[in-house]
Amino acid sequence: MPPLNQNQSTAGPYWRSLEEFSGTPAFQQFVQREFPNHAAEWLQGDRRNFLKIMGASLALAGLGGCARFPVEKLVPYAHRPANRDPGVPVQYTTAMDFGGIGQGMLVTSVDGRPIKVDGNPMHPLNRGGSDRFGQASVLNVYDPDRSRTVRQQPAGGQPVDTTWAAFESFWKAHLAQLKKSHGQTLAILAETSSSPSVADMRRRFQLALPQAHWFEYEPVSDDNAREGTRLAFGEPLRVVPELAAAQVLVSFDWDFLVGDPLSVKFARDFAAGRRLTDPATGRQATCMNRLYVVESTFSMTGSHAENARHRFAVAAKDIPVVAGLLAAELERLGLAATVAIPALPAPPPGVELAALRALAQDLLAHRGQCVLLAGPGQPPELHALIAILNAALDNTGRTVHYYSAPDPQRPVHVEAITRLTGAIRRREISTLVILGGNPVYNAPADLDFAAALAAVPVSAHLADYVDETSRRCTWHLPRCHYLESWGDARTYNGLVSIAQPLIEPIFGGRSTIEILALLIEDPVRNGHEIVQRTLGIHASEWRWKKALFDGYVEKTAQSPAHPSPHAPAVGQKLGPLLARAAEPLGLSNLELVYQPDRKVYDGRWANNGWLQELPEPMTRLTWDNAALISPKTAAALGLDPHQTHLIQVQIAGRALAIAAYIMPGQPEHTITVALGYGRSSAGKVGDNVGFNGYTLRTSAAMYSQTGARVTVTAETYELASTQNHFVIGTLGRQAIAAEIPDLIHQGTFVDWLKQRSLGHKKSVAVSLWQEHRFDTGYQWGMAVDLTACIGCSACVVACRAENNVPIVGKQQVLMGREMDWIRIDRYFRGPDATAPECVHEPVMCMQCENAPCEPVCPVGATSTAPDGLNTMTYNRCIGTRYCAANCPYKVRRFNFLDYNSGTLRNLYEPNILRQPMNDLTALQKNPQVSIRVRGVMEKCTYCVQRIEAATITAQRENRRIRDGEITPACAQACPAEALVFGDIRDPNSRVATLQRQSRSYGILNDLLLTAPRTEYLPKVWNPNPALPAPPPGPLGSQ
Amino acid sequence: MTTAITASFAPTDLDNTGDELLREPVLVTGPATYQAVTDQVCRVTEAPRAPRAWYVAMAISLALLLLFGVLITYAIFTGVGVWGNNSPVFWGFPIINFVFWVGIAHAGTFISAILLLFRQKWRTGINRFAEATTVFAVVCAGIFPAIHVGRPWFAYWLLPYPNIMGDWPNFFSPLLWDACAVGTYATVSILFWYTGMVPDLATLRDRATGRIKPAVYGLLSLGWRGSARQWHLYERANIILAVLATALVLGVSSTVSTDMAVSQIPAWHETIFPPYFTAGAIYSGFAIVLALAIPARELFGLKDLITKRHLDNLAKLALLLGSMVLYIYLIEFVIAWYSGDPYERFAYLNYEFGPYWWLGWGILFCNGVVAQAFWFKFARQTWWIAWPVAVLCVMGMWMERFVIIIVSMHRSFLPSSWHMFVPTWIDIGTLAGSFGLFFTLFLLFCRYCPMVAVSEVKAILPQAQTRDALANERH
């Protein structure tokens, strides 16, 4: 497939005539005039002359008809290439570099276009699981807003589209200049990359231009952990907890289950320590891990703390105090002197010493089987303290592993960008090449990077989009997607994966390594060859093929290091940190916490519609971020709980107007702002969505800062939440409190050990007649383990990708018309809104045997198949919506408007006036799933296309389908393996094993006898018996 | 007589509501001759110009009808998403309007069929235009289910028709029952209405002057000559259609109610729904007939034929049915409490204390309290009390459909799916537009059709009470 940009310069190396070559005015006129000279005179001749001219004209008109059409090569498909069956999906392994961690991916490709990204089952990080970002990354390949050409913007001039050739020739001349000073005035600003090829190219770059500067900046990174390990061990290390081995987990402000590049691994390991019944063997657990969370924002991880007593909501600045108090408590209980803790302040509000004592006892009872974790937003000193405590508790090497950090000498990111800006200000940099990233948008606000950048005479930005930074650079270079280019990536333990392209760059972009090769005029320019050179493997070798097939290169993983910490140094450094806690918070001194968004991360996914419309797992917000404020603080500020107000957040002379969201479980006087929104040049999807938290964030306080004030404005704002949070009222809350125990069964591990059913009695309702027996063939069913589910929403994005689920835009979400086939319901529970617990429940079509949707459809468009699937016949559906009205689970989705054509902005224009689906977007669609037209109902099908494909394969091979052979997209994505699918008639299948458990239940089955095929395993908690359970309180969705 | 309505023909507006023992009540006031009755009715159509109010009303109605057409066209070309429907409120205004208009239709059939079978003579004054409201309301009702579906161009798939693919609709689905019930209802109503009108159309034909009118009325009167045999067949046909229509009065709203009663949604899944909907339907129908009769008798000078007694009787029936509706409201609360089902209990609490509480109390007020004014004769007979009460009842019944359909759906089983419903201006415009259609048809009917059943009214004049007829009556 040739690149789409045919935007070649007209002044090419060929010319039509010497006049054109010399560009004479006569020739210009000749080209521009519609009629040549003397054309008017032709009409003045006599009849004879006229006929002559006419005859000649006719003849020439015939010639004129022989216009040259663009050359298209048609290659007859006479011989099918090997392994290329039209319409048959093929899968390739590749790797995605995200936040400096390489994830192993398995990409499904149909007819040469990648349509779905999943975790590589053989990769040690993913093991088949994936996260929201990986799932959504395929959409970016087909994003029409991606930049299509090289763009040049001379200082003060208008940007013009130009070509790679133009940049190459410019650079050739420019490089000669730079080389004279050995690149002293050249600086590179790069993103974090785990790629060995990037590292190799960087080495070559520094050989070629030894004086050039290389900076690395990421707005969100694990720098604090690096510096913390440097403090504790003398060298920066990567901290990788092995959660599967841990019985007691204590997280200090780390949303490790969802918010980290390694979350896929953490989620799986965490769930493994909580799963009560192993689906494969049916073995029942004898122990279960226990999670304590100390945090400054109600995170997904916090929602899995055993109960409100196991979660300490404290301001970010107080978290080191809690850690210090815990350390002191551990010492008091006899843990060998770990670190000289300076004088400790009183426990912050919300933390009782008794609770910390119980926690310390729990840790000591599980020496070597517990783990303490510190979040990336916490200062290095805390990370050092945690490392020391982990070592003292014998966890190092058991539940915590350390790996050498890449590029140990580099300064932390915030320092790097500060140095770079300073150098620009001092006019030491005349050429700046920015490889990825978007520093104009996300550099600390006090640096005013945009202004500094304007002072650089030559700047080039390699980026996927013409974003905020590109608009301020003299050159913009389009970057290709990771599915379009050769590359490589290392995962947490150094294991190398090769990123192989699935499609030629659609817009002619180039990868980072190719640009680096261009910059230093490396003789090897091709990404494919660069990767081979770096890895030292030739494409002809068996090792290369095996690495591509496996998705990783064998024998490249490191073994973990087990260093011992130097404790005394840390104690002294903790002093000032703990002193900060003395500063009391209040309405005139609020704390501001910045964290990467769970959907758009640092803003890089802002133009991805799947992620923008994904409900944020905790707030259920789509298409926006908000300032999270606790109910009490909100009341003190005078926020009306029934309205969304715009508030003015002021800190250190900066101000931001942002919508306020009242979040239960948020610590008092702490306001959390998710970064990554409020972009101005993200693209058609991401422009002007949400509020830009970077405008407040300074280099001195990258993650949290005190001294903020809030003014409530009279302006209101509409937040599109997929779960109501205003109009519930007292009556609604009471009803929710009464109903949720039915919908989400819960219990404790101790109770389960005593009574396996957790009080659940199967089938209370009795049918009046003999129900149909589904006792032949395959009978599909699913088990959802609520204990394992972390609510990360990877399944939701996976379902979108697999089933061509459209996005509908903020206005439609506000109206309640989101289209997700699977949703993660979120309910709060607790004695009061300040210390709630939270449960997540994935809900998709239950595939009821007694489906209420079926008898009411007047045209029989939905019906139960012999294998128990509740099927939809789109062609027959006329859209009475009766099925959805009668569905007790409300899992059916209706195409109220034509969501699959035009744009989100012209949804309300009559169909005949709207464009059909964008050709490029259409390339992502899964050809095995129908695109639904407007007026048609749709819903989860258990990925019937996968069931059918497996059935055909099994029938051709004359065998039964094996358990695990079919995995719906949601279950495939799930990193925690909380969704299990299979044949419930086969007693040995994993799903049957789980559904056989006496605690397994069908939602509303006891009341309505719907006989759902999807059953749930209760949410089981494992609270510390030494911590009294909080009084039972009402549940509420807010 | 083709003169315009003149002052010389002043209607009397006597109070004829008193009941005296052993005496037939006076049902036609004023000059009660055959000629006078014919003249009173026919002069409305024969007048060269209608009253000015008619033109004003027609202009407004046509404007609304145009709006109706434009909004429906827009919805069909763009999608049903132009309305406020969402998940979980999958059914919005169109279904409310459908149930509402079906209910409105019921009074006409009740008056002309059930009262005919019960030999209530007073019905003759109002049955014709009550039947007309039936037909026009059914027209309005029939449009909504067709445009409400997501793909209206396939709406005919609802009907059981033979086709080459052998596809039949799902006979379990109440929507199919609906389509059949409303279709039957429309057919019988139109037949009943038109059959009854034939002798009067013949009268108009005989009196018509000019060239067009005799031809048109001649065509419409189907060759009616008034022979004894024709009268005999006419009476038979009327009785047969009345029996059919009577079954439909009880059946159609019951069928419509199964849309809700057959489903699982709390506050829908109830056995009381068929009588509930029927009572509500007839109630709203009487209210709208009352609301129309009051201005119509003023406007067209028909006070001698649509007398105070007629209004009085209509108001009494409205009171009876309104009280039944109120009783059902109350019993629903009791049963919800008695069922012990938390979802059912919540649904009813949510009616009165949820976010749509003002509608919950509104229907109790409009349908339960306001109609009780008709216990008082003064209220029944004073147009400036009776008319607002009737209009409030109609509004209350529309609100009741809103509460039943939307408030039940917006909070059903899973609290995560609760969502508010807010109508768009297109919803409201379409509702207003349907009134435009109704009134356009009604005004055309008033102007060009015999608004009162001339032949039937003549039959209840004292001089028509032959011995045979009297004997017949006293059966």
The CATH number given to whatever domain includes residue A660 is: 2.40.40.20
Q: Do A739 and B343 touch (CB under 8 A)?
A: yes
**DSSP string across A840-889:** EEEE-----TT-THHHH-TT--EEE-TTS-EEE-TTT-----HHHHH-TT
Mean pLDDT of A632-655: 89
Domain shared by A169 and A189, yes or no: yes
Highest-pLDDT range among A467-476, A558-567, B20-29: A467-476
Please report, as a single letter, which amino acid is at residue A81: P
pLDDT range class, residue A660, cuts 50, 70, 90? very high
Residues B85, A877: C-beta atoms closer than 8 Å = no
Closest chain A C-alpha to B78 CA, distance in angstroms: 4
Judge whether residue B29 has pLDDT over 90. Answer: no
Residue A935's CB is within 10 A of a number of other CB atoms, namely: 25
Q: Are residues A333 and A421 in the same domain?
A: no
- Are B150 and A936 a contacting pair at CB < 8 A? yes
Res. A44 pLDDT band, cuts 50 70 90: low
pLDDT digits (tens, 9 = 90+) for A610-625: 999 999 999 889 999 9
Count the residues in chain A: 1038
Last residue of a domain, one of A694, A721, A748: A721
Structure tokens at A641: 């709980």
Position A121 in a domain: no
Question: What CATH number is given to the structural domain containing A758?
Answer: 3.30.70.20
Do B416 and A723 make contact, defined as CB atoms within 8 angstroms?
yes
Q: Which of B80, B182, B343, B417 to mutate to test the interface with A (most CBs of A within 10 A)?
A: B417
A370-374 sheet: strands from edge to edge:
A311-313, A290-295, A248-252, A370-374
Provide the token pair at A165. 């050739």
Please state, in angstroms and as integers, the Cα–Cα distance from residue B32 to each residue in A287, A975, B26, following that order.
98, 90, 10
Determine the 3-state secondary structure of A720 from DSSP.
Answer: strand
Cα gap A708→A587, rounded to integer Å? 8
Distance, in Å, from the CA atom of A64 to the CA atom of A57, rounded to the nearest integer, reads: 10
Q: What is the token pair recorded at B182?
A: 């409303």
Q: How many CB atoms lie within 10 A of CB B388?
A: 13
B50: confidence class by pLDDT, cuts 50, 70, 90: confident
Pair (A525, A668) in one structural domain = no
DSSP class of residue B374?
Answer: G
Give the 3-state secondary structure of residue A675. strand
Amino acid sitting at position A71: V
pLDDT score of A7 more than 60: no
Instruction: Select from A709, A696, A666, A689 the least CA-distant residue to A904.
Output: A689
More confident residue, A885 or A25: A885
- Averaged pLDDT, A628-646: 88
**Position A1031 in a domain:** no
Residue in the block written with tokens 């429906």: B72
CB B88 within 8 A of CB B410: yes
Cβ B88 vs Cβ B418: under 8 Å:
yes
Shared domain check, A507 and A414: yes
In whole angstroms, what is the distance from residue A43 CA to residue A58 CA? 16
Give chain A positions within 8 Å (CB) of B80: 879, 896, 935
- Tell me what percent of chain A is helix, strand and coil, each rounded to the nearest 5: 30, 20, 50
Please determine, for residue A3, whether its predicted confidence score (pLDDT) is greater than 50: no
- Name the pLDDT band for B413 (thresholds 50, 70, 90): confident
Q: What is the DSSP letter of A79?
A: S
Closest residue by Cα to residue A476 from A453, A448, A499: A453
pLDDT at residue number A897: 92
What's the confidence (pLDDT) of residue A349?
Answer: 83
Same domain, A739 and A875: yes
Give the CATH number for residue A167: 3.40.50.740
Confidence of residue B474 (pLDDT cuts 50, 70, 90): very low
Percent of chain A predicted with pLDDT > 70: 91
Q: What number of helices (H) and strands (E) belong to chain B?
A: 18, 0
Dihedral pair phi/psi, residue A187, rounded to 5°: -130, 145
Which chain A residues are within 8 Å of B149, Cβ to Cβ?
Answer: 878-880, 935
Domain co-membership, A862 together with A1004: yes
Phi, psi of B309 (to 5 degrees): -65, -40
Strand arrangement, sheet containing A1035-1036? A837-843, A823-829, A1035-1036
Q: Which of A404, A430, A446 is the last residue of a domain?
A: A404
Q: What is the mean pLDDT of chain B?
A: 84
Task: Using an 8 Å CB-CB cutoff, list chain A residues near B155.
Answer: 878
Is pLDDT above 90 for A720? no
CB contact under 8 A, A894 and B90: yes
DSSP A396-430: BTTTEEEEEPSSTTSPPHHHHHHHHHHHHHTT--S
Pairing of strands A704-716, A893-894: unpaired
Q: What pLDDT does B465 receive? A: 64
Residue A989 belongs to some domain of the structure: yes
- The DSSP letter of residue A701 is B
Does A143 have pLDDT greater than 50?
Answer: yes
Q: Looking at chain B, which residue has its C-alpha nearest residue A828?
A: B416
Q: Can you spell out the DSSP letters for B244-272? A: HHHHHHHHHHHHHHHHHHTS-STTTS-TT
Please report which confidence band the pLDDT of residue A674 belongs to, taking 50, 70 and 90 as the band edges: very high
In a domain, A937, yes or no: yes
pLDDT tier at B431 (50, 70, 90 boundaries)? Answer: very high
Q: Two tokens at B34?
A: 């055959």
Q: Is B416–A859 a contact, with Cβ atoms under 8 angstroms apart?
A: no
Residue A130, domain member (yes or no)? no
**Tokens at B19, concatenated:** 């009941």
* SS3 state at A602: coil
Whether residue A51 has pLDDT greater than 80:
no
Asked whether residue A100 is domain-assigned, the answer is: no
Residue A737: closest C-alpha in chain B: B415
Contact A292, A310 (CB under 8 A): yes
Which chain B residues are closer than 8 Å to A823 by Cβ? 416
**Which residues span the domain enclosing A420?**
150-221+409-485+503-538
The confidence score (pLDDT) of residue A1031 equals: 63
For residues A546-563, give the mean pLDDT.
Answer: 89
Spatial CA neighbour of A212 closest among A189, A193, A196: A189
State residue A914's pLDDT score. Answer: 84
Indicate the residue of B168, B174, B264 with minimum beta-carbon distance to A888: B264
Do A611 and A698 reside in the same domain of the chain?
yes
Report d(CA A157, CA B191) in Å as an integer.
79
**pLDDT > 60? residue A486:** yes
pLDDT at B341: 85
pLDDT of A39 > 60? The answer is: no
Number of domains in chain A: 4
Report d(CA B64, CA B443) in Å as an integer: 13
pLDDT class of A25 with cuts at 50, 70, 90: low
Does the beta-carbon distance from A858 to B169 stay under 8 Å? yes
Q: What is the mean pLDDT of chain A?
A: 86
Closest in A855, A888, A893 to B87, CB measured: A893
Please give the pLDDT value at position A216: 92
Percentage of chain A beyond pLDDT 90 is 53
Two structure tokens written together for A43: 């009409």
Dihedral in degrees, nearest 10, Cα atoms B384, B387, B391, B393: 110
Q: For residue B74, give the nearest of A817, A910, A933 by CB distance.
A: A910
Distances (CA, A) of A412 to A213, A216, A228, A261, A696: 15, 8, 12, 18, 20
Q: Which two tokens stand for residue B111?
A: 């008056």
Distance of alpha carbon B462 from alpha carbon B391, whole angstroms:
35
- Candidates A261, A266, A267; CA nearest to A242 is A266
Looking at the fold, whether A998 and A898 belong to one and the same domain comes out as yes
Average pLDDT of the residues in A289-306: 92
Cα–Cα distance between B124 and B122 in angstroms, integer?
A: 5
Choose among A739, A859, A935: nearest Cβ to B157: A859
Q: Where are the alpha helices (DSSP H) in B17-51?
A: 34-46
Amino acid at A148: R
pLDDT of residue A728: 63
Two tokens, residue A160: 């013009």
User: Which candidate, A1036, A1037, A1019, places its Cα nearest to that of A307?
Assistant: A1019
Whole-number pLDDT of residue A64? 52
| CATH classification at residue A394 | 3.40.228.10
Interchain contact, A881 vs B91, CB within 8 Å: yes
Give the domain-ending residue among A668, A694, A721.
A721
Instruction: Quickly tell me which residue has 């008017």 as its tokens.
Output: A40
Q: What is the pLDDT of residues A242-263, one digit of tens each?
A: 999 999 999 999 999 987 889 9
Arithmetic mean of pLDDT, A163-183: 90
pLDDT score, position A905: 83
User: What's the confidence (pLDDT) of residue B26?
Assistant: 60
Q: Would you say residue A802 has pLDDT above 90? A: yes
Do A216 and A256 sit in the same domain of this protein?
Answer: no
Q: Is residue A126 part of a domain?
A: no
List pLDDT tens digits, range A831-884: 666 778 888 999 999 999 999 999 999 999 999 999 999 999 999 999 999 999
pLDDT of residue A1: 44
- Looking at residue A877, its amino acid is C
What is the average per-residue pLDDT within A800-820? 92
SS3 assignment, position A706: strand
Bridge partners, A824 (sequence order): A842
The Cα-based distances of A526 to A8, A202, A462, A510, A773 in angstroms read 21, 16, 17, 10, 62
Q: Are residues A764 and A906 in the same domain?
A: yes
pLDDT over threshold 60, residue A28: no
Please write the tens of the pLDDT for every residue from A591-603: 999 999 999 999 9
**Hey, where are the domains in chain B?**
34-160+169-473
Best B85, B147, B264 member to test A by mutation, with max A CBs in 10 Å, is: B264
Give every CB contact of residue A928 below 8 A, 6+ residues apart in sequence: A89, A945, A949
The pLDDT of residue B16: 65
Look at residue B466 in the predicted model and tell me its pLDDT: 60
User: CA angle at residue A509 from A504 to A514, to 5 degrees?
Assistant: 95
Residues A940 and A861 in one domain: yes
Mutate which of B72, B83, B90 to disrupt the A interface (most A C-beta within 10 Å)? B90
DSSP annotation of B437: H
Query: What is the pLDDT at residue A821?
Result: 94
- A804 and A705 in a common domain: no
What topology does CATH give the domain B34-160+169-473? Answer: Formate dehydrogenase/DMSO reductase fold (1.20.1630)
Inter-chain CB pairs, A–B, below 8 Å: 199
Q: What is the mean pLDDT of residues B276-290?
A: 88
User: Given a cut of 90, is residue B159 above it in pLDDT?
Assistant: no
Structure pTM? 0.87
User: Are residues B179 and A858, on separate chains, in Cβ contact within 8 Å?
Assistant: yes
Q: Do the Cβ atoms of A878 and B420 come within 8 Å?
A: no
A564 vs A237: CA distance, rounded Å: 12
ipTM over 0.85: yes
Report residue A584 as tokens: 């009391």
| Residues in a beta bridge with A674 | A595
Average pLDDT over every residue of A963-975: 93
Q: How far apart are CA A529 and CA A526, in angstroms?
A: 5
d(CA A913, CA A1009) in angstroms, rounded, equals 46
Position A75 in a domain: no
Interval A416-454: pLDDT, tens? 999 999 999 999 999 999 998 999 999 999 999 999 998
Q: Average pLDDT in the A884-910 region? A: 90
Look at A11 and B367; give whichever has higher pLDDT: B367
Task: Please state whether the peptide bond connecting residue B88 to the residue before it is cis, i.e. omega within 30 degrees of 0.
Answer: yes
Could you tell me which chain B residue has the CA closest to the CA of A878? Answer: B151
Structure tokens at A880: 């009475």
| Cα B313 off chain centre by | 17
